[in-house]
Amino acid sequence: MDSDTHHADTNPDVCTPRTISAVQRTLGLIQSDDLYSKVEAAKEIRRLTKTSKRCRRQFSAAVAPLVDMLLSGSAEANEAGLLALLNLAVKDESNKVCIVNAGALVPIISFLRSESSNLQEHATASLLTLSASSVNKPIIGASGAISLLFEILRYGSSEAKADAVLALYNLSTHSDNLSLILEAEPIPPLVDLLKTCKKSSKTLEKCSALIESLVGFEEGRMALTSEAGGVLAVVEILESGSLQSREHAVGTLLTMCQSDRCKYREPILKEGVIPGLLELTVQGTPKSQSKAQTLLRLLRNSPYPRSELQADTLENIVCNLISQIEGEDQSGKAKQMLAEMVQVSMEQSLRHLQQRALVCTPSDLPIASCASEVSSK
């Protein structure tokens, strides 16, 4: 489901006679041969479609001339046309598909290379919104946009980086695009974003989700463990991210350990994951709790699963992990260690937040569904 936030008027889907007249006049101007008139019309389309879903549909006839503006040599026409198309696409599946079919991807992708940061940001936001359409996902993936979105993720502005990772997440939900994403060497810039992004942000949630998808491939798992601080960054999200981010983080580590326990157990353990996992078994989402318990079992010293009739409790898992404890009251000491580990995890989370308090982070985007897109501009 597409989602975005936008300014709402009193009754945005009721077109007054005045609005209808403005739509008709603007459609006439956008068909003009005069570039100045077309620019003014594009600006009016942007204004009228900012709050009205019905206006977006009524301006579907303007898509082709607006795409033509992207091909003009005028920077002003490029920006005006792109912003109008962006607003036409917001929350309108039909317009999203129409814009791509009209040939907008070629100029939009070229704008990702622009020296103008504004045009680069608008192009990235446009790809974010267009990629929310399931019809467009394979087309955008095959267009060459993915590698350029990772360039934005490496070198773009904070706003462009946030939009780029959300667009990449949207594209990753089409399975054929995952191999294209892996070809772009995605892990280093994604790990950098994990380290610098606001822990409660939707940007970080989508970044975490994207990494979880990528470690489903051996290439992604090896890249994460090879990247300096890669596994540690995931562990820190597990400790201090939002509930959804923590779920993706534990899913990432679990996928790695399940794929090859002998290979990935030690890299995960050495980053101090146990306290965070124990805390997650109590404070996480139902999925997080289940995944954390499964991962704790995989991280035990013994590689052999217990009988289903002898289900593991947290105390049993802790007993195994801290097998150096001796004596008869093993369960009692395990419970004490559990409490202590949770406390340690909380203290570690606080330290991580303090250490990063001075780091500049991208702004949080108000997006709350699986498919993401930007708000009207």
Domain spans of the chain? 185-300
> Which DSSP letter does residue 307 get?
P
User: Tens digit of pLDDT per residue, the chain (377 long)?
Assistant: 333 433 333 344 556 667 778 888 999 999 999 999 999 999 999 999 987 778 888 898 999 999 999 999 899 999 999 999 999 999 999 999 999 999 999 999 999 999 999 999 999 999 999 999 999 999 999 999 999 999 999 999 999 999 999 999 999 999 999 999 999 999 999 999 999 999 889 999 999 999 999 999 999 999 999 999 999 999 999 999 999 999 999 999 999 999 999 999 999 999 999 999 999 999 899 999 999 999 999 998 655 554 443 445 555 555 555 443 344 444 454 455 555 555 554 555 555 545 545 444 433 333 334 567 766 77
CA 9 to chain CA mean position, Å? 29
> What superfamily would CATH give domain 185-300?
Leucine-rich Repeat Variant (1.25.10.10)
- Residue 331: per-residue pLDDT: 47
Burial of 347 (0-12, 13-18, 19+ CB in 10 A): exposed
pLDDT at 18: 73
Sequence length of the chain is: 377
pLDDT computed for residue 2 by the predictor: 38
- Give the model's pLDDT for residue 202: 93
Q: Which residue has the tokens 């394979």?
A: 138
CA gap 36, 281 in Å, rounded: 62
State how far the Cα of 87 lies from the Cα of 54, in Å rounded to an integer. Answer: 12
> Counting Cβ atoms within 10 Å, is residue 73 exposed (0-12), middle (13-18) or buried (19+)?
exposed
The number of beta carbons lying within 10 Å of the beta carbon of residue 303 is 9
Burial group, residue 286, by CB count within 10 angstroms (0-12, 13-18, 19+): exposed
Asked if 166 and 128 touch (Cβ cutoff 8 Å), the reply is: yes
How far is CA 307 from its chain centroid? 39
**8 A C-beta contact, residue 263 and residue 224:** no
The Cα 191–Cα 154 span in angstroms is 11
Q: Are 134 and 175 in contact (CB under 8 A)?
A: no
